[in-house]
Amino acid sequence: MLEQIDLSEKTPKEAYKPLYDELMARLVVLQQRAHAAGVGLVVLFDGWNGAGKGSRIGDLVYNLDARMTHVHVLSTFDEEQAARFRDMKTGVTGFAPLMQEFWQALGPRGDMTVYERGWYTAAAQRLLYTDKENHMRAYESAVEEFERQLAADGYVVVKFFVHISQKAQKKRLTRLHENPDTAWRVSKQELKHIDDYDATYAKYDELLRRTDFDFAPWTLVNGEDKRTANLTVCRTLVEELERALAKQADPAAEAAAAKAAENSAGLLAASDPRERSAEETEAVLAAARQAALEQSALAPAHSRFTMVARPPRLEDIDYTLSLEREEYLQALKKEQKRLGELELKMYRARIPLMLLYEGDDAAGKGGNIKRVAQAIDARAYTVFPSPAPTKPELMHPHLWRYWTRLPRAGHVGIYDRSWYGRVLVERVEGFASPEQWARAYDEINEFEHELQAWGAILLKFWVAVDSDEQLRRFNERETNPDKQWKITSEDWRNRDKHPQYAAAADDMFRLTSTAYAPWRILESSDKYYARIKALRIINQALEERLGL
C-alpha cells in the first residue's frame, strides 16, 4: 500500500490556507452535529518515528471544541516488566490485557477520541516478549474486533498512517536527538532502527494491507509536507463524518436507548403480580411465553466460536442436590483454607482470576460471593456489581464499563452480575434492540477470548434455584426486617417474565459456553451445596493453572 503515496507532492503556501480554512470550518460544524447525533469519532495516528504524528494532531485539535475532543498518547512500554512476565512462564502477558488502555481512553458516542499510536504499536511491542506463534493471531483478532465493535456501535473509525522516506526520517530524528531540549523524544534504540528502514517498510506495508478493513480503512498521509498532510487529514474526517451523518437512524435502536435511559433514571414502573387474579396472572405468563418464542427466534443460530460439546440447559438442572449442615461446615473450612493458600500462590505468579455470577433472583449469588471473599485477603479482590448503566455508560459500547473494571494481574475480580446483562435483562426488557443483543453474543465471546489470551482464569457461574424455593425466599425477605432491602417490586415482576428469562439463559448457554470459558451451573436450591461446589471449582482451576 505504501507505494500508493507520492512523497514528492507539495502544497504551495498560497494555495494551502484557503483550502485548509474551508475544510476546518466544515469540520468544526460537523463535530457539533456529530455530538448532537451521538456519532462518535475515533481517530488513530500511526506511522514512522519522526513522521510528525504529534504535530498533525496538534494542528487538528487546535480549532476543535476541546469539550468533546480527547487525545490519548500510547503509554510508555515497560520492557523490564514485560520481560518479567515472560520469564515467569505463567501465560500472563502483563498487568492488564492489550486492549484495556484503548477502551479506557475511549470517549462517549458524540465525542472525538484521538489516539497517538495505538493498538497496532502496542501489539507489536508485546509480541517481542511473548510466544509470537500463540499470541500474534490473538492480538490481530483483538484489534480487528475493537474496530469492528466500535463501527457497529455508532463510531466512525479513521486510521491515518503518516509515511516518510528513510532520508527524511534520519534527518528529523538526528535533529531531534542533537537538540538538548528534544533529545528525550528519541531513544538510542530508535536511532539504531533507522538502518532497518527497508525491513520495517515491508512489515508496515503488510500490516496495512492486512488491516485495511471496510469498516475501518487506512488513509495514507504524506508526512514529508505538513500542508499536504493537514489537508489529507481534514478532508478525510470531513468526508467520513458527512457520510456517517447522512445515514438513516435505526428506529429500534433509538427506542431501546430511550427505554434504557428511563431505566437508568429509575423511571420504569413495576407491577406486583400478587395484586392480580389467577386469570390475570395466566394471561401475563401466556404473553411472556409468546414473547420468549419471538425473542429466541431472533437469536443467532450459531456462533463462530467453538462451544463445549454439551452446553448447560435449564431443564437439565437437578434442584435436589444438597449437603447436610455438618458436612457443609467441614467442607467450607477445608475449601476456604485451600483457597486462601492458592490465592497467595496465584498472586506471586501474577495470574488474574475473574469470577462471574449470573442467575435467578434470590438464588444466593451474594452469599456465594461472600464465602469466596471470606477466604482471601481483602486487598486481593474487588467485587464489581452491575446496577443499571449510568448515563455515561449508556453513551459507550456495552462492554466499555467492564473493560474499565478488570482486576490487575495477580488479583481477583468478582462480578455480581456482569456483561451478560446485554443478552439477559436488556434483551428481555427491551433496553437493547434485537440487532444489538443478537450481535452481543460474539462480542462477549471476543471479550472473553481476549481475557484468556491475557492469561486470566475466567469462571462463569449460573446460580440456579427452582421456582418454589425462590418464592419461599421472596416471602422470607418480605417478612424479615433485616432482609427487606433485598426484595423489590421488580423482583416480583421478574417472576412474570420467567419464560423470557429462561429462554434468554438457554440461548446464552448455547451461544457463549465456549471451550475456553464454559458456563458452570451452581444448583442453589440448597445454598450449602452451591457454595461448596463453587469453592471446589475455583480451587481446582487454580491448582491446574499453578501446576499443583
| Domain count within the chain | 2
Q: Which of 155-164, 174-183, 374-383, 423-432 has the lowest mean pLDDT?
A: 174-183
Single residue among 245, 270, 303 that ends a domain in this structure: 245
Residue 374 has pLDDT above 80, yes or no: yes
Query: Looking at residue 266, what is its pLDDT?
Result: 64
Same domain for 274 and 197? no
Q: Which of 109-113, 137-141, 181-185, 496-500 has the highest mean pLDDT?
A: 109-113
Domain boundaries, position 500: 251-546
Concatenated DSSP letters of 248-265:
PP-HHHHHHHHHHHHHHT
Query: Looking at residue 410, what is its pLDDT?
Result: 97
> Is residue 1 included in any domain, yes or no?
no
Same domain for 325 and 201? no
Q: What is the pLDDT of residues 265-296, one digit of tens each?
A: 665 555 667 777 888 888 888 999 999 999 99
CA atoms within 13 A on the CB side of 103: 24
Contact (Cβ atoms closer than 8 angstroms) between residue 100 and residue 146: no
CA 370 – CA 459 distance, rounded (Å): 16
> Is residue 8 included in any domain, yes or no?
no
**How many CB atoms are closer than 10 A to CB 346?**
24
CA 312 – CA 508 distance, rounded (Å): 10
- What is the DSSP code (8-state) at residue 48? -
Residue 44 has pLDDT above 60, yes or no: yes
Terminal CA-CA length for the chain:
50
**Full 3-state SS string of 435-481:** HHHHHHHHHHHHHHHHHHHHCCEEEEEEEECCHHHHHHHHHHHHHCC
Same domain for 391 and 291? yes
Average pLDDT (37-49) is 97
User: Sign of dihedral through CA atoms 538, 407, 404, 160?
Assistant: negative
Query: Looking at residue 486, what is its pLDDT?
Result: 85
Same domain for 190 and 265? no
Cell numbers 443478552 correspond to 423
> Which residues, including other chains, have CB under 8 Å from residue 521's CB and lie 6 or more apart?
312, 317, 461, 462, 464
> Is residue 4 included in any domain, yes or no?
no
> Is residue 5 included in any domain, yes or no?
no
Closest of 451, 450, 449, 393 to residue 422, by C-alpha: 393
> Is residue 199 included in any domain, yes or no?
yes
> Is residue 239 included in any domain, yes or no?
yes
Same domain for 529 and 381? yes
Contact (Cβ atoms closer than 8 angstroms) between residue 221 and residue 48: no
Same domain for 351 and 258? yes
Q: What is the pLDDT of residues 61-113, one digit of tens each?
A: 999 999 999 999 999 999 999 999 999 999 999 999 999 999 999 999 999 99
Q: Residue 373: is it exposed, middle or buried by C-beta count within 10 angstroms (0-12/13-18/19+)?
A: middle
CATH of the domain at 453: 3.40.50.300
What helix, strand, coil percent values describe the chain, rounded to 5? 60, 10, 30
CA dihedral 521, 331, 474, 498 (to 10 degrees): 10
> Which residues, including other chains, have CB under 8 Å from residue 287's CB and lie 6 or more apart?
none
Cell matching residue 83: 520481560
- What pTM does this model have? 0.94
Query: Looking at residue 284, what is its pLDDT?
Result: 87
Single residue among 193, 217, 245 that ends a domain in this structure: 245
- The neighbouring-strand residues paired with 156 are 41
- The neighbouring-strand residues paired with 461 are 357, 520
Single residue among 229, 245, 261 that ends a domain in this structure: 245
CA 175 – CA 165 distance, rounded (Å): 16
Query: Looking at residue 230, what is its pLDDT?
Result: 98
Q: What is the pLDDT of residues 488-535, one digit of tens each?
A: 877 888 888 999 999 999 999 999 999 999 999 999 999 999 999 999
CA 237 – CA 183 distance, rounded (Å): 33
Helix intervals (H) in 89-165: 100-105, 119-127, 132-152
CA dihedral 424, 426, 432, 435 (to 10 degrees): 10
Same domain for 198 and 291? no
Average pLDDT (387-408) is 97
Query: Looking at residue 385, what is its pLDDT?
Result: 96
In degrees, rounded to 5, the angle at the alpha carbon of residue 306 between the alpha carbons of residues 305 and 312 is 110
Query: Looking at residue 483, what is its pLDDT?
Result: 87
Average pLDDT (194-200) is 87
The values of phi and psi at residue 73, to 5°, are: -100, 130
**Which of helix, strand or coil describes residue 154?**
coil
Same domain for 167 and 146? yes
Q: Which of 129-133, 164-168, 337-341, 421-425 has the lowest mean pLDDT?
A: 129-133
Closest of 122, 125, 115, 124 to residue 157, by C-alpha: 115
Q: Which residues of 71-109 are buried (b: 16+ CB within 10 A; e: fewer)?
A: bbebeeeeeeebeebbeeebbbbbbbbbbbbbbebbbbb
Same domain for 336 and 206? no
User: Sign of dihedral through CA atoms 323, 328, 331, 335?
Assistant: positive
Query: Looking at residue 309, what is its pLDDT?
Result: 95
CA 461 – CA 372 distance, rounded (Å): 13
Residue 188 has pLDDT above 90, yes or no: no
Q: Which of 55-64, 283-292, 303-312, 329-338 has the lowest mean pLDDT?
A: 283-292
Same domain for 152 and 110? yes
Q: Residue 149: is it exposed, middle or buried by C-beta count within 10 angstroms (0-12/13-18/19+)?
A: buried
Average pLDDT (11-17) is 95
> Is residue 337 included in any domain, yes or no?
yes
Same domain for 268 and 228? no
Confidence grade of residue 300 (pLDDT, cut at 50, 70, 90): very high
Q: In what order do the strands lie in the sheet containing 155-163?
A: 69-73, 112-116, 40-47, 155-163, 218-222
Same domain for 261 and 241? no
> Is residue 203 included in any domain, yes or no?
yes
Query: Looking at residue 302, what is its pLDDT?
Result: 96
